[in-house]
Every structure is written in structure tokens, then in C-alpha cells.
Amino acid sequence: MATVMNGAIELYYDTFGDPADPTIICIPGMGSQLLIYDEGFCMALVDRGFHAVRIDNRDAGLSSATVAADEYTLSDMADDVLAVLDAVNAEDAIVFGISLGGMVAQTFAIDYPERTRALVSAMSATGEPGIGSGSAEVIEALLLPDAETTEAQIESDLRVRKLWSNPDWYDEDQLREYFAANYARASIPGGGLRQFAAVSRSGDRVEGLSTLDVPTLVIHGGSDTLITAEAGRRTAELISGAEYLEIEEMSHDFVYQVWPAFIEAMTSLAAHTFE
């Protein structure tokens, strides 16, 4: 458990495994804390020979809260990732993010290709309007204001998560425990909405992705109702040489059922970076 400063922003992170091994830095999605990357998942990466680092983005978890007037961008969030990599003395890393975290990872690879051993963008998009957009109902649910109590917020989270989960993998008891653990750890009112605003003000990444020259893996769910698979296919199309993995059963939730596919694909990608 550690923190590092990026200017006025304090960033919380923790690590698993040997720092001498190749680093994978795991970036959460909108409003999510580093707990989205379960310790079991991180230890599975360690078992494959990686040094795993998971972070709380600004406006989430134990990292700094901001205010609306800060008007930060995805590039600012990519700078946060750089600060953490410097703190763990990683010359480069496999930069992995899901959803908004994938957008931060893409931006990091564009801004800092020399520090990017490889890019893994999952359940994410290019920022182009209309490509991969979910239904109005799903987007509206994503942008709901915070509830007045933790108990009410957990119930809201459960209802919303059901909109973009594979119903066969939706485990209400497990999710209730997960959300309760998050709120017991930390709560930043409005943080997710400020992260969403950062996406909105950052524009698309078409030009940067089109000129990107780092090993890349794009993963998307064929059943994703929040950011549809069209967005993943478009991302892979723009990045020269990108590998694309579509998991038909996966929707917009990072559950243990998909960990093996992610770990196998990332291990294979990492192997190519040593060739």
C-alpha cells in the first residue's frame, strides 16, 4: 500500500509480485476503485511472471478527490499513471485498462509510447461519437446522481449493474459484498461523473491510435450493452497490428469467469514483446 503525488493529486496504488518482473499496471473504469482488480486476478498475473500494479484513479477510492472546476482530461489521468510507474521504478509497463480505464490506457500509450511495453484496452472505445454507444436507458443509468445513503447507493448500483451484466453471471450476493467493500473503503461523491466529464472534454483518439506503434491487445464483450463490440472492433482497426479478442458471453463487467481468457491473452501479448 503506497501513495505518490502528481502535482496536487495524491494517487493510491498497491503491488503484487517481484518488481524485477515485467510490470502490468491495471487502471479501473469510471467510478471504480482498484478493488475491481481482485487480489485473485492480480496473483494469477504474478503466477504468470508479472509484477502487477493496481491503482485508484483520481476521483476514486483512496486517491484525491477533485472539484468540477479542475476540468482535467484523459491526458491528466495518463500522467497519473506515469507518476505511479515512476514510483515503482518501472521503465515501461503493459498498460491495461477497462472501460474508462481503457481510454486512459490508450491515451497513455499515445502520450508515452516509450514507456508502453504493450497496450491492453478492454471494454473501451476510441472517443468517436456514436461508435459503440449503448442504449439511452443504459447511458442514463450510468449518469445517475449519487444516492443519499450508502445503503441506497448499493441498491442503485445493483440495479444499474444488472443492465450491463451477463444475466448468467450476475450474482447479487457477490456484487452486494463487492459494493459494500468499496464504500467501506472510500467514497468520493460525484467522482465518477467528473471522470466522465474528463472523457467528454478529451475528444477522440483517432489520430493518435492510427499512428500508435506498440504491441496492442483489444478485448471486448460480444454481449456488452454499455459500450458495444463495435467500439472494440473500431479500436483494433485503427491500431496497426492490434490483436482483437471478442468474448461472446462477456458484457460490461469484469467477473472471474473472464479472467482466464484475459490472462492467457495478456501472457501471449507479453511474450511477443520479448521477441
Domain boundaries, the chain: 2-272
Which helix (H) or strand (E) segment is 27 a member of? strand 23-27
How far, in Å, CA of 58 to CA of 83, rounded?
Answer: 12
Contact 4, 24 (CB under 8 A): no
SS3 80: helix
Q: What pLDDT does residue 136 have?
A: 85
What angle, rounded to 10 degrees, do the helices at 150-163 and 172-185 form?
130
pLDDT digits (tens), the chain, 275 positions: 799 999 999 999 999 999 999 999 999 999 999 999 999 999 999 999 999 999 999 999 999 999 988 999 999 999 999 999 999 999 999 999 999 999 999 999 999 999 999 999 999 999 999 999 988 888 888 888 889 999 999 999 999 999 999 999 999 999 999 999 999 999 999 999 999 999 999 999 999 999 999 999 999 999 999 999 999 999 999 999 999 999 999 999 999 999 999 999 999 999 988 75
Q: How far is CA 174 from CA 44, 108, 158, 191, 270, in A?
A: 20, 32, 10, 24, 31
What predicted TM-score, i.e. pTM, was given to this entire model?
0.97
Residue with cell string 482535467: 72
Beta-bridge partner residues of 218: 121, 244
Beta-bridge partner residues of 14: 54
Residue type for position 125:
A
Contact 191, 272 (CB under 8 A): no
Contact 59, 65 (CB under 8 A): yes
CATH code for residues 2-272: 3.40.50.1820
SS3 77: helix
How far, in Å, CA of 160 to CA of 67, rounded?
Answer: 25
The β-bridge relationship of strands 116-122 and 9-16 is unpaired
Q: What pLDDT does residue 264 have?
A: 97
Q: What pLDDT does residue 275 have?
A: 58
